[in-house]
Structure 1
């Protein structure tokens, strides 16, 4: 263990202190596995209800629901892939721990956050704010598939959105800020 890692101890909540719900890594791993399975089954059930018009949803709303579910499943696949890599392969990561219990909240929230990022990005693309051409923008399958990709790569999407926002939003110059402070 390097000195920087040893020096950082005691500066925050670590390990089991961060996630007090589980006594062991094994219990947390079993919970997270079951959590992922329940999310997938629930998501598939929701897709079936939407597709077979059980709720009698209008087509536009159906398209938006497919977009949300597509982003959710993209985030779910990313989360499940991470879970598999850490548990099934049994290889330790760069920190020499098989399981990082303190990343519990990140793993639990990933599908939900990915869904939001994917859906909003889809709305930005569909509204024409980005120079992306969709071949069939009114199709639910387009909404689902684009949001799946946006959800899977939500970290990358957020970094690109930040760069886009920096280009669009005016930058405050130091002189403007000082002048504004002097006027107040």
Structure 2
């Protein structure tokens, strides 16, 4: 009896029409709360990455507020959607320290090599390396502190919910077939 039921369940899953990716994306974007910060990507989008606050989903279009303008984005052109999930202070600190070290290294190398008027090539290179190191160290600390305060945004992918068929453990330890349906 259970084999017939499992076969019927698999047959039902195979016969049910699978929603298209655009329908899945529309359902997932519509489930997000209004004014959530989203980042939408796709090769057909101009620009290829749109970031802003989500408005409403109407038919096959999602409206996103980016700055002071409202952008109508066709859902069929979206290949990846992400929603902001908070701030990451450690990643911000590392990014800020890296930017500070790069800027400080260039400034330090330029300032110290400018002071070396009567130097030969090897001394010029040594002073440049010294300036690079000192500038990188001096600017990495304030850059890291600024990055720690500001942080970077964490992004989570927007989940597409459709029906899924798979193996599910039964309470008695046996395996069964499970189906998960989304009813609009």
TM-score by length of 2: 0.22
Q: Which has the larger radius of gyration?
A: 2
Higher relative contact order (CA 8 A, sep 6+): 1
The answer to which structure has the higher strand fraction is 2
